[in-house]
Amino acid sequence: MKRGGRGDLIGDFRVNRVIVIGGGFAGLSAAVELSSAGYHVTLAEQRRFLGGRAYSFLDRKTGLALDNGQHILMGCYKNTLRFLEKIGVTDKLYVQKNLHVDFLNTNGNTSKLDCLPLPAPLHIASGILRFNALPLTDRLRMLRVAGGMRTGDSEGLAGDCTVSEWLNSLGQPKEARDTLWNIITLASLNESPDKASAGLFKTVLKQAFFTNRLGSRIILPAAPLSRLYVDAAENFIRKREGTIEKGRIVSEIILKDNAVTGIRLHDGRVLKGDYYISAVPYGSFQRILPDKKFLPPFSASPIISIHLLFNHSITDYRFAALLHSPIQWIFNKEKIYRDRSYRGLFSIVISGAHQYINVPSEKLVDLALSELKKVLPDTHSAKLLYSKVIKERAATFSPVPGVNLNRPSQKTPIQNLFLAGDWTDTGLPATIEGAVISGYQCATLIAKADS
């Protein structure tokens, strides 16, 4: 809230108005930050619910709230954790004490990456050296990655290459790549190591494993996503006199003399503010912006989530990674939520799912059941009560080498228009943390422009 400007007059002050388009993590984090700073925020969301690509919905057949996709947070997600703390929901998180991941091999073996409470990067070294899924000689070779972290950068410049090329240059054996590095690549970049940027991969490794021991801890939502953050963020904004309009499709950003003068909705109304934030996916932003000159092309990478509800639980694992399988992760919702009403519900994830995105849902369910039977014997005796397949065809941008060169800044050439979203230039791949960083950066830029 600043003196001067074009906002609404309240007493001796003028409250500047910010219009936010899009109600996912990027839009909500920007709206929360700005509303807490005294701005009048209006958030327009085209769907009748908030959450963007991270939301939950009530499944009518089961009566359960299901996430549109499973999301993993990490201890290094400082901005996300700050956002969740601000809206008062950190008690709804499952937080590991130290990094621990169980690995289930489709050949019947099990192993674990279990890191000791040592300073970084000794903690990850302890986990790798005790990772019995690989021979000791391969584990020792994996430590070379720490040395490789000291070369190059993550800016996507001419020296960038694929993750596979970078790991090959460090002498990483195929089994080590298949067993650990590829799992991390798919989970963090949502793309095959043969296509994904080594620069962005090194950024992930540095922040998650080589900077701080607590940064490598896995954090999971201990409630469906909308209950975790969507409802709390909406209440936070409304309590500060913000306006949230759902089911409002933006048809156009109106430009005049290199400035936004309003956003036109499909119903013909025009919302006017002093500053504007677009927090929608790349394709949606392309559709509503008249001037597309500063928008480079991006390709998308898909994610498939498969919800399976059995008549009883098939494992005590809270979550686990699968080895030598098209499935990367399984999540036990009863254990994660600590809620017996979710007994027997498991979420399966296929990241970078290009080759599976057009496979019929019933065949994907058959694939998931076949893979689970290889690693969890109790699947054979369980009865499948219900399944739901969710395909996110444009879940993230594809983080190919050099992609950072094309990602636009949060500050645009249009003087009062700012960009938020995990596809903007955050330095990270398309993650929740990147989305929140972009929202906070937009709020910071508006505060600077308004000072």
Per-residue pLDDT of the chain in tens (451 residues, 90 and over written 9): 443 344 654 444 456 999 999 999 999 999 999 999 999 999 999 999 999 999 999 999 999 999 999 999 999 999 999 999 999 999 999 999 999 999 999 999 999 999 999 999 999 999 999 999 999 999 999 999 988 886 544 443 447 999 999 999 999 999 999 999 999 999 999 999 999 999 999 999 999 999 999 999 999 999 999 999 999 999 999 999 999 999 999 999 999 999 999 999 999 999 999 999 999 999 899 899 887 666 777 899 999 999 999 999 999 999 999 999 999 999 999 999 999 999 999 999 999 999 999 999 999 999 999 999 999 999 999 999 999 999 999 999 999 999 998 899 999 999 999 999 999 999 999 999 999 999 999 999 999 998 7
154 burial level (CB within 10 Å; 0-12, 13-18, 19+): buried
Q: List domains and CATH numbers for the chain.
A: 8-53+225-298+400-449 (3.50.50.60), 56-94+219-223+299-397 (3.90.660.10), 124-212 (no CATH)
CB-based contacts of 241: which residues, under 8 Å, 6+ apart? Answer: 35, 40
Cis check: omega of the bond before 121, within 30 degrees of 0 = yes
Please report, in angstroms and rounded to a whole number, the separation of the first and last CA atoms in the chain: 10
pTM for the whole structure: 0.94
pLDDT of the residue at 15 = 67
Sort strands 275-278 and 417-419 into parallel, antiparallel or unpaired: parallel
Q: Is the Cβ–Cβ distance between 334 and 421 less than 8 Å?
A: no
Cα–Cα distance between 440 and 98 in angstroms, integer?
Answer: 28
pLDDT of the residue at 8 = 55
Closest Cα partner for 408 from 444, 397, 191, 81? 397
Q: Is the Cβ–Cβ distance between 57 and 236 less than 8 Å?
A: no
Cα–Cα distance between 422 and 434 in angstroms, integer?
Answer: 5
pLDDT of the residue at 450 = 85
Sign of the Cα pseudo-torsion (415, 395, 154, 212, in order): positive
Q: Would you put residue 91 in left (φ > 0), alpha (ψ -120 to 50) or beta?
A: alpha
